[in-house]
Amino acid sequence: MVNNNTMTMTMAADARSSGYVTKSSAWSNRFIIAAIVQGAVITGLTLAVVAAQMLTSGVNIIQFLSLSFEGPAKWFFLGYIFYLILVVAIAVTAVFYSHLEVSMGRQIRGFRSVLAWIHFAGMNVGGAVTTIAMIFAGLAGSGILGIILGGSDSLQPNTAIMEQFVPIIAAFTGLLSIGVLAGGLAYILTYLRKN
C-alpha cells in the first residue's frame, strides 16, 4: 500500500531529477492578483451603472450616453474602455515577469526590484485613478451623475465641471507613464543581466 505523501515526494524527486522543477514568479503573482482585483473593480463599476439604470426609471442612461458620444459622455466610454485595456495590460505584464523569473531564471532584486515596484504602483494606482476619473468626468459632464445621485430630475450637461478632472487625470497619467517606463527599464536590465 502506497502512502499519498510518499507518492507526492517521489513525484517531486522525479521532477527535480528530470529538470522539470516548477518555480513561481513573485512579480508574476503580484500582477495576476492585481489584474483580478482591477477586474473586480470594473465589474463593480459596471454593476453600479446597471443598478443606477434600474433605479432611475426616467432616463435610459446607457442609451443617452451612447447617443451623445460627441459630448462629455465620450469621456465615460473612453475611461471604461481604457480601464478594460488596463486590466488586460496588467495580466499580460504578469506573463513578462513570469518569463523573466521562471523561464529565464533571472531574479529581480535591488534596484530592479525598486523599478518593478514603481511599475506595479504606476499601473495599478496611476492607471486605475486615471480611468475612473475619466469615467466620472463623463458622467458629471453629461449630467448623468446628477440623475444617479438624485440631485436632478432632468439632464443638464455641464462641460465646465469636467475641467476639475483635468489635473487629476494628468497627474495620474503621469504616474502611469512613469510606472510603465520603470517597468520597461526593470525588464530590460533583468533580461540583459548575466546569470
**Is position 112 within any domain?**
yes
**Is position 9 within any domain?**
no
**Residue carrying the nine cell digits 459630448:** 71
Which pLDDT band, with edges at 50, 70 and 90, does 57 fall under?
low
The predicted model gives 1-6 an average pLDDT of: 50
CB 147 within 8 A of CB 61: yes
User: How confident is the prediction for the chain on average, in pLDDT?
Assistant: 85
The predicted model gives 145-152 an average pLDDT of: 74
Domain that holds residue 82: 24-192
Q: How many domains does the chain have?
A: 1
**Is position 173 within any domain?**
yes
**Is position 142 within any domain?**
yes
**Is position 13 within any domain?**
no
Residue 192 neighbours by CB distance under 10 Å: 8
CB 136 within 8 A of CB 75: no
> 53-62, 114-123, 166-175 — which is least confidently predicted?
53-62
Give the whole-number percent of the chain exceeding pLDDT 90: 57
**Is position 72 within any domain?**
yes
Packing angle of the helix pair 26-55, 111-121 (nearest 10 deg): 10
**Is position 6 within any domain?**
no
**Is position 34 within any domain?**
yes
- Confidence (pTM): 0.81
DSSP string, the chain: ---HHHHHHHHHHHHHHTT------HHHHHHHHHHHHHHHHHHHHHHHHHHHHHH--SS-HHHHHHHTTTTTHHHHHHHHHHHHHHHHHHHHHHHHHHIIIIIS-----THHHHHHHHHHHIIIIIHHHHHHHHHHHHHHHHTHHHHHTTS-SS----GGGGGGGHHHHHHHHHHHHHHHHHHHHHHHHHHHS--
